[in-house]
Structure 1
Amino acid sequence: MKHTTFALAAAATIVASAAAAQQTITVNIGSSHPEQNIWVYAMKNTFQPEVNRILEEAGGEYEVNWNEAYAGTLYKFTDTREAVQDGIVDIGMVGTVWEGSTMPLQNVTYFTPFATPDHRMLIEIFDDLNVNQEDLAQSWADNNMVPLSSLITDVYDVYATFPVETMEDLQNRRINAPGTSANWLQGTGATPVDGALTTYYTNIQTGVTEGTLSFASGILPTRVYEVAPELTRVGIGSMYFGSIAANKDFYDGLPEPVQEAMQQAAAATSEAHGDYVADLAARAMEEMQAEGLTVRDLPEEEKMKWVENLPDIVQPWLDQTGEAGNRVLSAYFDALRERGAEPLRAWDEGR
């Protein structure tokens, strides 16, 4: 009996010691968009649980207490960089697409349309370039951030109140094309009008615009197809949008096993993000067509007119970014071709 009592007491002591040795790390994680958004979904549903799983399987020395601030509860889409850079959150969705002046190098895809429709390829490319291409890596470091997992869009096409069968159909049309995407309409005769996914429906419904350049996974939840029931598939391309990133000061202060868990979880998140966007885009097409969306492909010869009539829209970006921009452009197009992509326009040639 004494031996049994002693054994039980010893076991309890060991368990208590193990529990006492476990370190809990609080991580503030957030975004400007809700969890259902394509750029946030994998944060909540893959990144967090994967970190938990990896740490638990490693022996449970560390665990994470997640403080979630999704759906813009702490900051809006215009402040994603500052939120992570300044430590408002430790990890967050960073939309570099909105950081044309502070992180211009990351916007290379938006200045080189018709490069690839393969969003999974873009994830793979930018997961690599953000870490291993010196100019991109330095940009993240200069902004006090560590990129973890790349975020993309599916393919941009034309959603409109009218069919587009030839390039002439775009003449004198007003099309929502926010930010850099306005450049894609140069030479088409259409007039770009600024806006966002949240404004397209009202813009088109009220006649401010007659359509938009956008992607299926964004159009479905905003129901823009109800007022723009004509989809012309042009294949302007998928775009690198930004990254899930960590505040560098926070990340550098983490124990190495937690850093490693986050890196492994980030790789899983990239894969899950690619799958989720593909599944959502496919479901979007089915549901929107069931609701009356008409789908057509722009004839190849008309598409090539669009591509070839675009002015040299990458040059202003290169003027802004200098030699670093040239290196990033070259690295990006090298990465595309190494993976078998055939850009419809070689934006890197002659630089």
Structure 2
Amino acid sequence: LIEIFDKLNATVPALRDSWAAQNMVPLSSLITDSYDIYATFPVKDMASLKNKRINAPGTSANWLRETGATPVDGALTTYYTNIQTGVTDGALSFASGIGPARVYEVAKNLTRIDIGAMYFGSVAVNKKVFDGLPKEVQDAMLKAGKATSVAHGKHVTKTANAALDTMKAAGLQITDLPAAEKAKWVNGLPNIVAPWLQGTGDAGKQVLKAYFDELRARGVKPLRDWDLQNR
């Protein structure tokens, strides 16, 4: 994901222009590790989610639409108390965040959904300042940005794995959502991309197509071809 967005931010006009409009030049990409469900119950099948309240803030709430679960806004700083007090039954989140927040103490079941990592932004530099620098300095900054992306990816992986080890040692029960049930989840979602495209138009379609092209070029087979469904 880091490799893809490092490339797209530099080569896709719609993204490049979006950064420029904010007077910024992206240098490296920032991501999370994969999203799964940490809850007071194991998710054995889609029926397990019915009438459950799951913390899923922002755009991640879209991943729970039509699943039977109710997404509840929140943040890593609120998940523990929400689950402990019964406000929610779990959280849709990632290991590198859940571990340090100790949410596993009250949500003792991890169901691996493997929704995937999320790109959430970049380290960037002021464009006006960048444009005024000598080319060799610009090149050095861009090179350092690439190195930062690689280091960030390794750090997130290391942190996530360490968190999982800590949580397992503390008694976290880990299961995998069966592939057939995951397929039901993905195919049962409404067209969650369409509202975003309505707001972004052709530029959004350009980014969506470029993203899925890069996924497939790296051997990733999407469980749902959102780009083909939203041409």
TM-score tier after normalising by the smaller chain length = over 0.9
Secondary structure at 2:113 match in 1: strand
Deviation at 1:170, TM superposition (A): 0.4
TM-score by length of structure 1 reads 0.64
2:146 is matched with: 267
**Within the alignment, does 1:207 sit opposite 2:115 as a pair?**
no
Q: In 1, Cα distance between the equivalents of 2:39 and 2:127?
A: 43
Q: In 2, Cα distance between the equivalents of 1:178 and 1:158?
A: 13
Equivalent in 302, 308, 317 of residue 196 of structure 2: 317
TM-score by length of structure 2 reads 0.97
Superimposed CA distance per residue, residues 218-253 of structure 1 (whole angstroms, 9 cap, x where no aligned partner): 111111111111000011111111101111122222
2:5 is matched with: 126
Q: In 1, Cα distance between the equivalents of 2:218 and 2:48?
A: 35
Alignment of 1:131-210 (within 5 A): 131-210=10-89
Structure whose CA Rg is larger: 1
AA of the residue aligned to 2:78:
T
Deviation at 1:166, TM superposition (A): 1.0
Secondary structure at 1:242 match in 2: strand
Alignment of 1:1-351 (within 5 A): 122-350=1-229, 351=231
Secondary structure at 1:236 match in 2: coil
Secondary structure at 1:238 match in 2: coil
Identity of aligned residues (%): 67
AA of the residue aligned to 1:165:
K
Structure 1 moving runs of 4+ over 4 Å = none
**Structure 1 unmatched runs, 5+:** 1-121
AA of the residue aligned to 1:299:
P
Deviation at 1:254, TM superposition (A): 2.5
**Structure 2 unmatched runs, 5+:** none
Superimposed CA distance per residue, residues 228-286 of structure 1 (whole angstroms, 9 cap, x where no aligned partner): 11000011111111101111122222233322221111111111111111111111111
Tell me the number of residue pairs that the alignment of Structure 1 and Structure 2 aligns. Answer: 230
Superimposed CA distance per residue, residues 174-196 of structure 1 (whole angstroms, 9 cap, x where no aligned partner): 00000111110011100000011
Secondary structure at 1:284 match in 2: helix
Secondary structure at 1:288 match in 2: helix
Q: Say which structure, 1 or 2, has more relative contact order (CA 8 Å, 6+ apart).
A: 2
Q: In 1, Cα distance between the equivalents of 2:191 and 2:137?
A: 45
Q: In 1, Cα distance between the equivalents of 2:65 and 2:172?
A: 27
AA of the residue aligned to 1:320:
G
Answer with 255-264 or 270-279: which moved more. Answer: 255-264
Superimposed CA distance per residue, residues 293-331 of structure 1 (whole angstroms, 9 cap, x where no aligned partner): 110001111111101101111011111111111111111
Q: In 2, Cα distance between the equivalents of 1:200 and 1:248?
A: 38
Secondary structure at 1:204 match in 2: helix
